[in-house]
Each structure stands twice: as structure tokens, then as C-alpha cells.
């Protein structure tokens, strides 16, 4: 194809004024996060989704909202306290109202749609009033045998002050009649629900009458609550749960040992500042007011729920239910047999050409197999890997430990500050150090979020490197649930760049730009902005101009400005944003050329793809895969990588699998409006995820 004439430069000459696009009114980030959870919750209403999976989506929303309050809303409250901050009390109130509305909707779907549908399938959750006499006797025996020995009711008085209540732990509060055994008028008591007990108990077949009957632990305790207070009546009671600020922060400049400091911080995380109080909707005002006072919370922080407090634990019901037809059909990721024949040397096959892996449609097992072969290969001298979220159990970590035991040079960059994975990562770091692996924790003030694996092997008297780069974590479990892209390569420039990144993380030497990789916080943001400028320049000159992004979040204001400018210049821009998006599309005269959609399906969309076109020539397009979202924290406060897909066939495959299907999805896709509200495109038609499952023969 004939190349286009040279494009106008995207960067103004010295002294030339740059015309900036008008500032668009950005959408609120926290409300955008809640809007994403509204899209997830909508899955629970879909009749084409298996019934137990609909319940699982309700549980997922509860888990997401817990983290939202623990981190995002807590940060928002802190920002509102800063007189110079950009967050007002009005903003906090607006987000709080949106959260209340979402939670009310969640419980309405749970009570009015999902639970009745389960009941129609013979899957029932019985409270005390529903249970017949044989069932009550069974529950009473279970209570005496398994529950009562672990309960310690605390009557409040000056010698027994209000107890320490850990983050997200479930309790009962009760108002009692009469006086205690010592004649004192202590009317309030607290009972902690033990975390070691299952929250969902399946009744045996002998008392279930052919149904699958479950009881909740809270229902068991509630039925026998009065037995804990001999000689007194329970006049009123409620379950309650408090959510606390759980963002673990350590001043890295002030501590001598980050691992030890974080280990200490983990012990106090569960008792941070309270930000939300949940009670059942029948909780008397007197008791809810008492709890709000104890936790120093305003009325707006009280969430009255019509059902079990903490729906996350209903995942146990899904696991205990015997009804495979009410779950998604089993999905087995495909092994890329043509590119990586089983039983053959991974090194020989990767040396022939780069291998692209698309999870979960393709298996993550080749990555594990690469490391497995590296551990047992006497010609492999060194292994380097980053660890962000790998889980408390991990074959990959076990293999790295075995490699160190075998005398190989093992370097692991462990991100100790991976939120809510700190303890698991600290444990892995200690185990790795114990066998002689070199463990580093990245760079002070920056999280290491890049996903990299590098193997150095001696071949024919020379050293050769093999690398794996990924958009997702080294976690085989989530690799079956999240969509991600990974690349196995022996390309000398790419593997040299990966080695440069590891050296940078270990030695803290001055930044040396890699040949092909982009590395945040050094040059990734700048290069992405340059690419947007190049697309805008092409559009102004009348050439084909296109941007397609598939990311998890878009909140960086400068990158939003770059997208707006490119769109106003005439470029066609499609954004596939799973979660929070602060760019309002479709604003007349400002963002007309920008469409934003989100896809919510069986798998969590997690891959990050950036595609740019600035002309009709084959050499006038670029496609990057990355560990980074388009957020300021990713671009400036994390170690992230982006790498170009240079092989035209692999680049086209990414377009055909990770972009085009999502742009044409009419079943799982939502379109974002300029008001920040999402609207489902259709309830039928093509699903990108299902099409990819069929392509790989696993639907």
C-alpha cells in the first residue's frame, strides 16, 4: 500500500501557540464506580444468566461495595475534610445517596427476583418462622453443639465498655429487659458472630422434605439469642456490621524495613475509622442511634438493609447447592497446541516466534509450564519475576522457591503494598528469602504493577533470554475468570528491555529508556499523549484517524483532554471501559466523535489494549498491550509496562479478538451517556465473550 504524505507534526514548534480544547465537565469518579456496579447488578436480573450465577453477581456487588467504602469513599471523606481540597460535603452526600439507592436496588432484586426463583427450583433459605418442628430441633442441636460454645455475649457497663468491633465483622446488638445477675440495669448487650463458623448451613435430607433447605448462621443465633441471657427477655435486637477505612498506608521514607512496617500495620488495619454502618431494616431507632454514636458516624452513614447483612457470604450457598444446571457450563481454557505442542520444549517453540495468549479462552498453563521447565532445566541460570497478586497458594511461587533451592539465580520483585494482598505477599517474600532468592520491593513511593517474567538460559555457549509480559496477574485462578492478554517472546530487544526494567527495580539506577517497552512513571504517559497528538494531527490533515482503547478505568484528566482534542480534530474514538470513566461522551460540539461502552459478561474484563491509527499506510498504526489503566496513579505512581505488538499477524489477532468483538457486542454491552448513566445496548444478539469461547471450542 502506498504510504501517505508526511503528516504535520503533532508537537507545535517553539513559540507556536497550542490551541487547547474546551474543558469538558468531567464525570464524578466515585459515582462512575457505583455506575459500574449497577451494570454488574443488572446481571442478576437477566433471565438468560443461570440462576445461581445471578445470585453470585449480587455477592460480587456486595464485595465491590465493601472495597468502595473501605478505600474510595474513605478517601473521599478525607478529601472533604481538607479546606483546600476539591471534594465538598455536597459531593460526599451525592455519592452517599447513590450508594444508598444501589444497595436498596440490590436487596430488592435479591428478595423479589432471585430468591423466589430459587424457591421455585426447590432451593430455600428458611428463617425461624419457616422451619417446621423437626427442622427446629435439628437447628437447636446444631446451635448447642457448634455455635453456643463460641459465643461470648457482652453486657455493657462501666467495666464492660463497648467492645472493639473489627472491620466487616458481624455482630448482634440486643436490648434486654430487667436487671442482670448482680442487680444492675445494663440494658444493652453485644454478641459477636464468630468468623470461623460457616454463615450458610445446609439442612440434612432427613428434615428437608426433598428440597435443598439452608439456614443462615444469623438465623440460628437469632432463634436462640434469648438463651444467652438467662432470666432476661430480648426486647429488641439487630444484626450490625461496620465498614472501616482499610487503606494501609506506610511512610516509606521514614521506615527502615518496609516489610516489617507493613506486617505491623496489618494488625491495626481492621480498626480504622468507621465509614459505614449496616443494620437490618427492622432495627429500632434507639439501637441504630446508639451504634452511630459509638462509631462516631452521621445518620447518612447508616444503611438499613432488607435481608442478611453482608450478602457476600451467600457465596457459600452457591457452593453448597447441588444444581449444576443453575450454574454456567464448565469452561476449560484451550491449550495453544499448534503454537506450543504439549510435551515439547517451551524454549524451542518461543524461539521460533512470539506467542500470544488470550485468557481465559486460552489456558494460562503455558506460562506455568515455561517456569516449570525453567526450574528443571540445567541450562537455565536465572529467573526474574514480578509478583503483585498471586494468591496465598501458588504453584508459580512454589516453583520459584524450588528454583532457588536448585541453585539458580532467582530475583523476585514482590509488591508488598498490593491492597488486601499484603499479608500473602509478605509471607511469600519471607519464604523466598529463606531459600536464598533475591527479593526486592520495588521503588519507594511506587507500586510495582508490571507483570513480567524473564528466564536466562545458556544456549551454544551464549546467554539467551525468554520473557513473558502480561496485562494480568500471575494467578492461575483469576486467569480462568479475567480476560487478559500475555506474550511469550525471545525477541532480543524486548527481552533486553525486560531485563533493563528488573535492573532498574533492583539497582535504582537512573532511568534509561528501553528500546521498545514503555515504562511508567517515566515515559508511558508522555508517549501515549504523543500518540494522541499524532492521531489529532492526522485528522486535521484529512487522513484516516482512529483510537480504540480497552481499559478498566479512564480518570487521568490530561489523557482525557488528549482524547477530547483528537475527537474534536475529527478522529473516530471508541473507548471500551469496564469500570470508572470520567470522560462524558456525546456532548454536542465537544465529544461527539467519542463513544464509550462497557462490557459485563461471564468473565471480568481486565485486558488493556491501546490502538492508534494516523493514516492509511500499514506502518501508520500502533497497538500496545499494557498492565496500566489510563489513570494518574498508574501513569505516575506505579511501575507499569506497555509493549508494542509489532508482528502484523499478532497485531491483527489482538484487533480481531480483543477489540472488534467488543465494539460489536450487542448482548453484554452498555453505552455510556453524557450524563454518566449507562444504558444496555440490547438484551439479545452477539456476546463477545461467548463468541470467543466458541472460537476456542469451549462454549
Asked which of 135-144, 284-293, 676-685 is least confident by mean pLDDT, the reply is 676-685
Sequence-ordered list of residues with C-beta below 8 angstroms from that of 699, at least 6 positions apart, any chain: 329, 690, 693
Look at residue 258 and tell me whether its pLDDT is greater than 80: no
What is the band of 564 on the pLDDT scale with cuts at 50, 70, 90? very high
Rg (CA), the chain: 28
Q: What integer pLDDT is reported at residue 582 of this predicted model?
A: 97
Q: Do residues 361 and 693 make contact, with C-beta atoms less than 8 angstroms apart? A: yes
- Return mean pLDDT, the chain: 91
Look at residue 462 and tell me whether its pLDDT is greater than 90: yes
* Pairwise CA distance, residues 151 & 471, whole Å: 46
Look at residue 8 and tell me whether its pLDDT is greater than 70: no
171, 358, 449, 468: the active-site residue = 449
Cell of 433: 528469602
User: What confidence tens digit (pLDDT) does each residue in 387-445 have?
Assistant: 988 887 899 999 999 999 999 999 999 887 666 667 787 888 889 999 999 998 877 77
> DSSP string of 537-577?
HHHHTTS--EEEEEES-B--HHHHHHHHHHHHTT-EEEEEE
Report the pLDDT averaged over residues 170-184.
Answer: 81
Look at residue 327 and tell me whether its pLDDT is greater than 70: yes
Look at residue 662 and tell me whether its pLDDT is greater than 50: yes
Report the pLDDT averaged over residues 45-67.
Answer: 97
Asked which of 143-147, 456-460, 504-508 is least confident by mean pLDDT, the reply is 504-508
What is the band of 305 on the pLDDT scale with cuts at 50, 70, 90? very high
Look at residue 273 and tell me whether its pLDDT is greater than 80: yes
What is the band of 14 on the pLDDT scale with cuts at 50, 70, 90? very low
- Active-site residue, 449 included: yes
Phi first, then psi, for residue 336 (nearest 5°) are: -75, 75
Domains of the chain with bracketed CATH: 29-326 (3.30.1840.10), 346-515 (3.30.870.10), 519-695 (3.30.870.10)
Look at residue 230 and tell me whether its pLDDT is greater than 60: yes
Look at residue 377 and tell me whether its pLDDT is greater than 70: yes
Which one, of 66, 57, 72, 15, lies nearest residue 327 by Cα? 57
Q: Do residues 28 and 99 make contact, with C-beta atoms less than 8 angstroms apart? A: no
Burial 93-127 (b: 16+ CB within 10 A, else e): eebbebbeebbebbbebbeebbbeebeeeebbbbe
Predicted TM-score (pTM) of the model is 0.91
Q: How much of the chain, in percent, has pLDDT values that exceed 90?
A: 79
* Pairwise CA distance, residues 97 & 534, whole Å: 42
Distances (CA, A) of 25 to 76, 86, 584, 587, 673: 19, 14, 8, 10, 13
Q: Do residues 559 and 624 make contact, with C-beta atoms less than 8 angstroms apart? A: no
Report the pLDDT averaged over residues 444-455.
Answer: 91
Q: What integer pLDDT is reported at residue 217 of this predicted model?
A: 97
Amino acid at each position: 500500500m502506498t504510504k501517505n504524505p508526511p503528516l504535520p507534526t503533532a508537537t507545535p514548534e517553539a513559540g507556536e501557540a497550542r490551541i487547547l480544547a474546551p474543558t469538558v465537565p468531567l464525570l464524578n469518579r466515585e459515582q462512575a464506580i457505583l455506575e459500574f456496579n449497577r451494570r454488574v447488578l443488572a446481571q442478576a436480573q437477566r433471565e438468560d444468566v443461570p440462576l445461581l450465577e445471578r445470585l453470585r453477581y449480587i455477592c460480587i456487588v456486595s464485595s465491590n461495595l465493601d472495597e468502595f467504602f473501605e478505600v474510595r469513599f474513605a478517601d473521599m471523606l478525607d478529601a472533604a475534610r481538607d479546606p483546600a481540597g476539591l471534594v465538598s460535603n455536597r459531593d460526599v452526600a451525592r455519592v452517599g445517596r447513590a450508594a444508598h439507592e444501589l444497595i436498596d436496588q440490590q436487596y430488592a432484586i435479591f428478595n423479589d427476583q432471585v430468591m423466589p426463583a430459587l424457591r421455585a427450583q426447590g432451593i430455600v433459605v428458611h428463617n425461624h418462622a419457616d422451619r417446621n418442628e423437626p427442622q427446629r430441633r435439628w437447628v437447636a442441636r446444631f446451635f448447642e453443639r457448634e455455635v453456643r460454645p463460641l459465643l461470648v455475649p457482652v453486657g455493657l457497663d462501666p467495666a464492660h465498655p463497648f467492645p472493639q468491633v473489627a472491620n466487616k465483622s458481624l455482630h448482634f446488638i440486643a436490648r434486654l429487659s430487667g436487671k442482670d445477675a448482680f442487680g444492675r440495669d445494663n440494658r444493652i448487650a453485644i454478641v459477636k458472630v464468630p468468623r470461623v463458623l460457616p454463615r450458610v448451613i445446609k439442612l440434612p435430607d432427613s428434615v428437608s422434605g426433598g428440597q435443598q433447605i439452608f439456614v443462615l448462621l444469623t438465623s440460628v443465633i437469632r432463634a436462640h439469642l434469648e438463651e444467652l441471657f438467662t432470666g432476661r427477655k430480648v426486647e429488641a435486637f439487630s444484626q450490625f456490621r461496620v465498614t472501616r477505612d482499610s487503606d494501609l498506608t506506610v511512610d516509606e521514607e521514614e521506615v527502615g524495613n518496609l516489610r516489617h512496617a507493613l506486617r505491623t500495620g496489618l494488625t491495626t488495619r481492621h480498626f480504622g475509622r468507621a465509614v459505614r454502618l449496616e443494620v437490618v431494616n427492622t432495627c429500632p431507632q434507639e439501637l441504630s442511634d446508639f451504634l452511630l454514636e459509638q462509631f462516631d458516624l452521621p445518620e447518612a452513614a447508616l444503611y438499613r438493609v432488607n435481608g442478611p447483612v453482608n450478602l457476600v457470604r451467600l457465596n457459600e450457598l452457591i457452593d453448597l447447592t447441588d444444581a449444576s444446571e443453575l450454574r454456567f457450563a464448565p469452561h476449560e481454557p484451550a491449550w495453544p497446541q499448534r503454537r506450543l505442542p504439549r510435551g515439547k520444549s517451551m524454549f524451542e517453540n518461543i524461539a521460533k516466534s512470539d506467542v500470544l495468549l488470550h485468557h481465559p479462552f486460552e489456558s494460562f498453563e503455558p506460562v506455568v509450564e515455561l517456569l516449570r521447565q525453567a526450574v528443571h532445566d540445567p541450562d537455565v541460570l536465572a529467573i526474574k519475576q514480578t509478583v503483585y497478586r498471586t494468591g496465598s497458594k501458588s504453584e508459580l511461587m512454589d516453583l520459584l522457591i524450588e528454583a532457588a533451592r536448585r541453585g539458580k539465580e532467582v530475583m523476585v520483585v514482590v509488591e508488598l503494598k498490593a491492597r488486601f494482598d499484603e499479608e500473602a505477599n509478605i509471607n511469600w517474600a519471607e519464604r523466598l528469602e529463606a531459600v536464598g532468592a533475591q527479593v526486592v520491593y520495588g521503588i519507594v513511593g511506587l507500586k510495582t504493577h508490571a507483570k513480567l517474567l524473564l528466564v536466562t538460559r545458556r544456549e551454544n555457549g551464549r546467554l539467551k533470554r525468554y520473557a513473558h509480559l502480561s496485562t494480568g496477574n500471575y494467578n492461575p485462578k483469576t486467569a480462568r475468570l479475567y480476560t487478559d492478554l500475555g506474550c511469550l517472546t525471545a525477541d532480543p530487544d524486548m527481552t533486553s528491555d525486560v531485563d533493563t526494567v528488573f535492573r532498574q527495580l533492583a539497582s535504582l539506577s537512573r532511568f534509561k529508556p528501553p528500546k521498545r517497552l514503555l515504562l511508567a512513571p517515566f515515559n508511558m504517559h508522555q508517549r501515549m499523549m504523543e500518540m494522541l497528538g499524532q492521531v489529532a494531527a492526522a485528522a486535521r490533515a484529512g487522513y484516516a484517524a482512529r483510537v480504540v482503547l480497552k481499559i478498566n478505568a479512564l480518570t487521568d484528566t490530561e489523557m482525557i483532554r488528549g482524547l477530547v482534542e483528537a475527537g474534536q480534530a475529527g478522529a473516530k474514538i471508541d473507548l471500551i471501559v469496564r469500570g470508572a470513566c470520567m470522560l462524558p461522551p456525546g456532548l454536542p460540539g465537544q465529544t461527539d466523535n467519542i463513544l464509550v461502552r462497557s462490557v459485563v459478561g461471564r468473565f471480568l474484563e481486565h485486558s488493556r489494549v491501546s490502538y492508534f491509527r494516523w493514516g492509511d499506510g500499514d506502518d501508520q498504526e500502533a497497538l500496545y498491550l499494557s498492565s496500566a489503566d489510563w489513570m494518574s496513579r498508574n501513569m505516575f505512581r506505579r511501575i507499569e509496562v506497555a509493549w508494542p505488538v509489532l508482528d502484523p499477524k499478532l497485531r491483527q489477532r489482538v484487533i480481531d479478538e480483543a477489540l472488534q468483538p467488543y465494539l460489536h457486542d450487542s448482548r453484554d454491552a452498555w453505552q455510556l451517556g453524557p450524563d454518566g448513566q449507562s444504558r444496555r445496548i440490547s438484551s439479545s444478539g452477539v456476546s463477545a465473550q461467548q463468541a470467543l469461547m466458541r472460537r476456542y471450542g469451549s462454549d
